[in-house]
Structure 1
Amino acid sequence: MAIGIDKLDFYAPNFFVSMDDLAVARDTDPNKFKIGIGQSKMAVNPVSQDIISMGVNAAQDILSEDDKENIDMVVVATESGIDHSKAAAIEIHDLLQIQPFARCIEMKEACYSATAAIQLGKDFLSNRPGKKVLVIASDIARYGLNSGGEPTQGAGAIAILLSHNPRIMELNDDSLSYTTNVYDFWRPTSERYPVVDGKLSKDAYIESFNTAWNEYAKRTGHEVKDFESFCFHVPFTKMGEKAFKTILNENVEDSIKNRLMEAYQDSVLLNRDVGNVYTGSLYLSLISLLENHEFNAGEKVCLFSYGSGAVCEIFSGSIVSGYEAELNKEKHSDMLDSREQLSVEEYETFFTRFDNQEFDFERELKGDPYSKVYLSNIEDHIRTYKTEQ
């Protein structure tokens, strides 16, 4: 029985900063951000939107009462965890009012863990007909003000409902993982922000993709031409493009190269305006691809997932007939278009207030129709959330 993605949605905070403005404030050529790394806007989260509230906001519109009764597992993938012990999945399970006999866990491996969660969910469903798994990828990418990684920040959450007989994408049984020990990006528990070796990070990403792709092609017999499109983890949109071009060599016909590169550009439209969402970046890219590229039923998408440290995975999915009806392109366009633009000074204030957990509800809750849940208080390390009616 086919298992795969039945429903898919995302949430981005209601504020952003323009990369043009950020470049000017940092005395940098705007083209370095807009062309060099391929980013236009960067989502900025208020204190009242953390990984839990964003995860709930991403999932709330796609879950029916039937879904909530049949979800047997909730997995939250994040590298922005808010507790060393308690899983964010427990809070999300409660706020979404999912039936109580569900397994709830949190997973971590840099930006890769959402893919691990999906594969876990797929295996979990293999002998549980009629049941469903909710995967949430929710993250806040923060490198610090005036840091080298600042233009690759962002925030957001993606919700993925896995089921039998999925209506969007069937997950194929062809995944391949590759692990290598490398210190390209990591965040010790004593540090507020990550430690990054920029050049090594890019090299490790591309090396992992090439090694995994060659082994994947060897084991499966798949060639580049067998896929309608490729979808990458994109901490910034030029990263996936650089890796992709390494396999679009002289053995690939120009017509196929052109088709695949056009599809790649479709796949990063949302990422370009949201920024880095860590564990959710690949799946934000998948939403962008599905909403902006035309597919025929049965066509295959190759997905590359990467988490620094490093673990990567290549796998594929087959498009299901009628998938378009399950997408929310109009909602997503409106959500991004209606965001409030912050000046760089305002963005820096938001950034500092988040570090200090200083709420400003009058400012933060203004005009966000897509946020039904927000963090309202932290007292004695207990987080309290409120639901907008």
Structure 2
Amino acid sequence: MKVAHTDINRLTLLGANQTLIWGMTNAERVQRMANEAAGKGRHIAPGNSLAVNLQYVFDPILLREVLRKPNCAFVLNGELLIGQIDPDIVDIHPRQQDGLEIIELGGGYRIYNEQLRKLETPYAERLTPQTRRSIERRSYYGAYKGVTDLLTKYLWPELALWLTRGAAQVGMTPNMITAIGAILCITATFLFSQGHYWTGMLAGFGFMVLDTVDGKLARCTITSSKWGNIFDHGIDLIHPPFWWYAWGLGLRTWDRELSPSVFWVIMGVIFAGYVLQRLIEGVFMRAFDGMHIHVWQRFDTWFRLITARRNPNMVILFVALIAGRPDIGLIALAWWTAISLIVHAVRLLQAYGERRAGRAIVSWMEANA
């Protein structure tokens, strides 16, 4: 097997492969993965080399696991995928190397992916022109968060895959996608305020889909950046209350305008509920070693599908709009926000109670890994 040495984090690339995946060679993909890991403070143990087989594309989580456990290697059907190996014996079959932990993929091997909040079976597949599209599909779905809302999880994954693949092929960056989404987000806000709910919904739908695409493009092409995360998550965090406020302003054009007292009570519930719910999520993470409240128990994972975040709230407004009552939709949104806030508050108190009782607070996914 041909061995190509690079100076990036003592990376040893095994073999060669010219088949492109997500618009780049496998060697470029591996080097981006290694650079990203180094930027997060994950390094190779002294004296070791990170050996990667370019004939295969594998789940990036395997790189994390290999860097976490020195003298560890993943294999598929006995063939090396990635491992921390003594560079002097890299050409020797992994099973012939003393002291090397061999992990065979398959057979139900699973890892808890804390970043994406899911329990997953890592993928690995030989990269050829015939398998490229299937591998892109696997890596795309591998980059999907396991705990998210029902629209992101069930409605538009295939549309977002098509857009992600197209963006990668034409060389668009995740920040370009985020910028287009931001324009649609602002447009939706304006349209809602003018009572143009259907066109606002269309603009909002485009933004919500692109909000999925930019993250998937960043993960699949290994081009995440600190600025990109701030840009994307900042928009996600700030805009929802403005959408609901603009929706309320637009009611006047439908002759469904709420009285000032009712309007401001509803706005108070929506704004306070949104902020307090996000604060509870932050308190939970701070109190329980960075774990998201939505991955604690199975109920929390299920409730994340429908909790009062932007996408489920848009479902409420969409149904109300079909019925010709956007005003009732806004009132229902306020009620659902209050109910979701109560659920989150109760779950936080229950978690504190579990810890006081001496029971560990761990994700049900991690416990089942």
TM-score normalised to structure 1 length = 0.26
Which fold has the larger relative contact order, with Cα–Cα distance below 8 Å and residues 6 or more apart in sequence?
1
Structure 1 or 2: more helix by fraction:
2
Structure 1 or 2: more strand by fraction:
1
TM-score normalised to structure 2 length = 0.27
